[in-house]
């Protein structure tokens, strides 16, 4: 048996990168396993990099190993994953007192509370407190229906 030599051992920081990614609202770990999910960032990722991926609402976390990457796709394997109980209660229940055609939900520590147009699931505003998001939705509804 041949032994490992000094030239084959180095600090991980010199051999690979560790990336941290926040999956957008509604994205599951299964979605992240699709190689094209990573298309917008694939050029900066290489084989044997690690990716720490978490849900935007902090409901799950996964550690991924990149086994293959090209300019448009990243192929990953799950090293570990778990669901958390850290998500605020607001993320799982619908917020009342919102005009028709809008939804206000909690999108995690980055987006905070946000206003979603239900017709096309477009995020119209984010980074708001719950009360400010409800007010924004009401003001927007009033402004587009005042004709």
Residue that terminates a domain, selected from 30, 58, 83: 83
Both 48 and 96 in a single domain?
A: no
Residue 94 falls inside a structural domain? yes
Instruction: Report the greatest alpha carbon distance in the chain.
Output: 82
Query: Would you say residue 1 lies in a domain?
Result: no
- Assigned domain for 2 exists: no
Q: Find out whether 67 and 75 touch, Cβ atoms under 8 Å.
A: yes
Tell me, yes or no, whether 66 and 129 share the same domain: no
Q: Which of 64, 83, 102 is the last residue of a domain?
A: 83
Task: Say which range, 58-67, 80-89, 94-103, has the weakest mean pLDDT.
Answer: 80-89
| 58 & 101 share domain | no
pLDDT at 147: 63
* CATH number, domain containing residue 23: 2.40.240.20
CB atoms within 10 A of CB 115: 25
Q: Judge if pTM exceeds 0.75.
A: no
Assess whether 79 and 108 both reside in one domain. Answer: no
Instruction: Give pLDDT tens digits for 100-141.
Output: 999 998 877 777 899 999 999 899 999 999 999 999 999 999
136 and 78 within one domain: no
Q: With contact defined as beta carbons under 8 Å apart, do 6 and 37 qualify?
A: no
State the Cα–Cα distance between residues 58 and 90, nearest whole angstrom. Answer: 12
Domain that holds residue 68: 11-83
In a domain, 6, yes or no: no
Domain presence at residue 5: no
Whether 16 has a pLDDT exceeding 90, the answer reads: yes
């Amino acid at each position: 048996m041949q032994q490992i030599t000094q030239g084959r051992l180095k600090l991980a920081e010199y051999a690979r990168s560790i990336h941290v990614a926040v999956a957008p609202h509604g994205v599951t770990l299964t979605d992240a396993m699709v190689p094209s999910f990573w298309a917008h960032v694939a050029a900066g990722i290489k084989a044997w990099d690690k990716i720490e991926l978490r849900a935007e609402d902090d409901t799950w976390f996964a550690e991924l190993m990149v086994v293959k990457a090209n300019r448009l796709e990243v192929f990953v394997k799950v090293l570990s994953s778990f669901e958390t109980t850290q998500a605020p209660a607001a993320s799982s229940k619908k917020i009342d007192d919102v005009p028709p055609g809008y939804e206000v939900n909690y999108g995690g520590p980055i987006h905070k509370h946000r206003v979603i147009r239900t017709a096309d699931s477009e995020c119209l505003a984010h980074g708001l407190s719950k009360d400010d998001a409800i007010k924004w939705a009401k003001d927007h509804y009033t402004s587009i229906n005042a004709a």
